Structures are given as structure tokens and as C-alpha cells.
A = this chain, B = another copy of it.
Amino acid sequence: MVSRIAGSRGIPQDPKTMTTRPCAGALALLLALIPLKLISAEKAAAGLIRVAAAQAQGRVIDYRLGAAEALAAVDRNLSALESIVDRAGEAGSDVLVLPEDTPGLLNWVGANEERLKEVLPEAVGRMKRQLGTAAARHRMYLVVCSDFIEADGGVYNTSFLLGRDGREIGRYHKVCPTWGEAGARRRGRSFPVFPTTDLGLAGMLICYDLVMPETARALALKGADIIFFPTMGGAAIGEGDIGEQALRVRAVENFIWLVVAQRGSGAMIISPQGRIIARAEGRDGLAMADIDLHGQREGGDSMNWQRDMRARIFRERNPEAFEVLTDTNAPILAKVPIAQTSEEAGKIMARALTVGEEEFRRADALAAAGETGKAIAAFERLQREYPGTWIDRRAQERVERLRGETTR
């Protein structure tokens, strides 16, 4: 039995929300900042914190570059990202989250497995130093994210929480990478939470993690008040709005704040009620909101209402009945076998992200030149080499069309 929340006693006003986009000129910037600074003073008096999430556009580094050139490209990306950090800082943000793959090395990493040591440690060091220094100028926390080589020699998709002084408070290794992604990386083994003086107990997750309800749940069970979430996608595999709805559900099912920094578009801030209270707009736009880390958790039903609904839901869980959740060989695995190992899927993914696109274009050129037989053979080879990828599916369509033309 469960009824909708029946009253609103004690529910505070919606937090102040705003969206900003890059201003065209200095005057516009100045005018835009005046009200934000005023709100900033109000905010501090009310004990609120201003959170920001950037939908920084993809700044994909060419996988064909050598190590030195790749690092130079990272520097160019960091300069562009630094201006986003400054914009968030000038708007009075207390914390800014940047998207997954902040420096833009994902494709390069896929194609240069043997040269990662020449680039990743240096690139991540520069990212933390340059963007951390910029954030520290504004006394602002910062979350950045990149593939990284850890002391154990493994590559992990890693997010870093930097403090108001620009120094690292802690890091998180993605626990649930995709099947292909996990082929060339190690998976994180824990969900750390980080006590802060003014952001509550903070946790981080990365992209595909949130497709799994277990990840946000683990952070919430460890007491996290807020999740910083660098990502390239929503929280569900599917079409339409389901990825965004799943983000809302991750927040409300744990009564937790969720700060979504999605690449390109879709940055947003979601309250513990599952409400999207701020969205970013435009290129490199910021979603911003002033939030009360201890608020927005009222809830219940007509029979039992709580000021902090976490007091109920985490007692209404019944972990004695949940053993199958930690079973490493749950019955479903035997029922739904998988064709490729994670390593195979990873190799295919790395090539599909890089050389695959060029090979596909060459096959397309054969078809355009009327070399139908050769084109069919090329597409069929692509299907064998890139099974399960977009290349496989598109090549299949091309083959069907070309065969249709030849038999007409």
C-alpha cells in the first residue's frame, strides 16, 4: 500500500534556479553577473550552496596524433574548459561538474593502447592542475573525469573531486563500465563517499554506472547526500525520454541530490524529489541551482510522513531477502549467454571508434562509383569485423539495398 504524498507542511520553497549561457560581450557579462552576485549573497545567508553542471561540448582528440601532438591538443581543450570554469566561478558557483572524458582522449586511448603511459598521466596531471587552479581562483569545488593509469598499472575511468583550494579530495573508479569499455579497462571495486565541510557527504558516479540502480543505491546507503555525475548519456538504455526519466528516478528512489554534467547537451540538476530544477542551454551551457543539501527530502504517504524520507525507505528495504544481488553467478547469466567476451567487444569498439568509420566510408565510395560487387564484399567484411556495432547494422542495410538493386 502506498498513497501519494498528501500534504505540503514544511516543504520549503523551490530552490532558486537559473540557467546561463556564454555571454557575447563584456558588457553583457557584467550585466548578467550583477543579479547573480546579489542572489549569491542571499544564498550564503540562507545556508544554500550553488551547484553547477556544464554540458561542455565534445572536444574529441584525433586518434592519429602522436603523443606530443595529443598532449598539445589536450592543452587546447583545457584552455577552452578553463573559460567554462571561470564562467561558473564568476557566477558564484560553489561546485562545478564537468562531463565524462573531460580532456577528450577517449578515442585516442582506444587506438593507442601501447602508448597510454606517454599521455594519460601527463594529461590528467595537467587537467587537475590547470582546471583546479582556475576553480581555486573562485574558491570553487570541481569535478573532472578521465581515463587514468593507477598505481596498480590498470586503466580506470576515473573522476576526481577537487577542493576549494584546487587539491584532490578523492577519486572514484567507474564500477560499471560498458561491456566493451571494460575490455580495455579495470572496473572500480568500491563506492567511496567523501565528507566535506559544506557539500555534505559527496559521492561520484560515471555515465553507464547509473544504468544500474545498484550504484546510486550503494552511495546512498553509505550516507551520501549528493552525487556528482559526469556522463555522456542518461540512466537507461532505450529510446525517447527514458534516459532522462531514469535520471529522475535514480534521485527520488534514494532521496538524493543528483548533479548531471552531460557532454554536449542535457546537463541538469535533480532534487531528491526527482524534480529537474535546472537545465543547461546552448553550447557549453551551465545548469545552476542554489540548493539546501539537507532539504527537499520531505515525503511519505497519508499514513506516515517524514521530514527526511530516507529515515523510512532505508528501513523499509529488506536486505535479508536481497542475497541474489551480490551473487556473482545469478541464474539469469546462464539463461542469456553473450556472443563476445568483454575483451573482444573492447577491441571491436576501439577500432569502430577510430579506423572503422574510414573503412565504412571507403566501402560507401565503392558503391557510389558503381562497383557494386566490390562494395557488397567490403560491407560484408565490415559486418564480420565489427559485429554488433553501428558499422555492422549500417553495412547490413547497405548490403540489402545493393543486392536489391542488382536483382531488380
Contact = CB atoms under 8 A, between A and B. Distances in A.
Contacts of A337: 311
A308 interface: yes
Contacts of A214: 213, 217, 317, 322, 325
Interface string A175-191: 11111111000011111
A197 interface: no
A342 B303 CA distance: 12
A219 to B, nearest CB: 9
Contacts of A44: none
A316 to B, nearest CB: 5
Interface residues of A, number: 109
B207 A1 contact: yes
Interface stretch (A76-84, A126-134, A233-241): A233-241
Contacts of A340: 304
A267 interface: no
Given A222-B332, A237-B5, A238-B5, A323 B326 contact: yes
Nearest to A392: B305
Nearest to A337: B311
B9 A330 contact: no
B330 A314 contact: yes
A381 B177 CA distance: 55
A305 B388 contact: yes
B236 A325 contact: no
A105 interface: no
Given A189-B321, A249-B249, A331-B223, A304 B4 contact: no
A245 B236 contact: no
A181 B330 CA distance: 31
A5 B176 CA distance: 18
A325 B221 contact: yes
Interface of A: 1-7, 9, 100-101, 106, 175-182, 187-191, 207-208, 211-214, 217-218, 220-223, 231-240, 242-243, 245-246, 248-249, 252-253, 273-275, 299-306, 308-328, 330-333, 335-338, 340, 342, 345, 348-349, 352-353, 388-390, 392-394, 396-397
Query: Which 6 pairs across A and B sit closest by C-beta, in order of nearness?
Result: A213-B213, A2-B233, A221-B330, A7-B393, A302-B390, A311-B336
5 contacts: A1-B208, A4-B233, A179-B316, A180-B304, A237-B300
